[in-house]
Amino acid sequence: MGIFQDWSANKNNTKGRLVMVLFRLAVVIKRTKLLLVFFFLYLGFYRFFVEWVLGIEITWNVRIGANFKLYHGQGTVVHPDTFIGNNCTIRQNTTIGTKSNSGAPVIGNNVDIGANVCIIGNIKIGDNVSIGAGSVVVKTVEPNCTVVGNPARIIKQSDLPLI
């Protein structure tokens, strides 16, 4: 997978494209010792530009699958140990983190996360889940569900994928 693997997923979303290309490049540099020697200044640029200027805290340690969609991005904070599957969408002001050092969330494939969502704790979000705007998710969510509220509760569940 290359640094442009999220390009088509963020069609008509210039900021999403830019941030994801910068993120994928930072991941490649951080994981390749030879590149790290020559491009360590890039990691400083990434941290300054993406985190401080754009206000999007997605460090190069986060594991994100292909076709990741990032809409708006401002105020987004993702814990470095988080795993996000393929074909996922995150909107602005989303926090994905932990209550303590108890482990980060694992987010499955085809998950759609609305604006202002908090996903907190050592929990798993199943495949094909849709999380409504403003929800606070503190418990594991089974696959093929739609959840909303604070705390988040299932309003729709099906045996068939939502997407």
Return the beta strands (E) in 5-111 as ranges: 56-58, 63-64, 69-70, 76-78, 83-84, 89-90, 95-97, 106-107
User: Which of 137 and 156 is assigned the larger pLDDT?
Assistant: 137
For residue 124, give the nearest of 109, 134, 135, 66 by alpha carbon: 109
Taking only the tens place, the pLDDT of each residue in 68-84 is: 999 998 999 999 999 99
| Domain boundaries, given as residue ranges, for the chain | 8-157
Percent of the chain with pLDDT strictly greater than 90: 84
What is the SS3 string spanning 106-144?
Answer: EECCCCEECCCCEEECCCEECCCCEECCCCEECCCECCC
pTM above 0.85, yes or no: yes
Instruction: Share the mean pLDDT of the chain.
Output: 93
Residue 7 Ramachandran class (φ > 0 left, ψ -120 to 50 alpha, else beta): alpha
Fold of 8-157: UDP N-Acetylglucosamine Acyltransferase; domain 1 (2.160.10)
* Whether 16 contacts 73, CB under 8 Å: yes
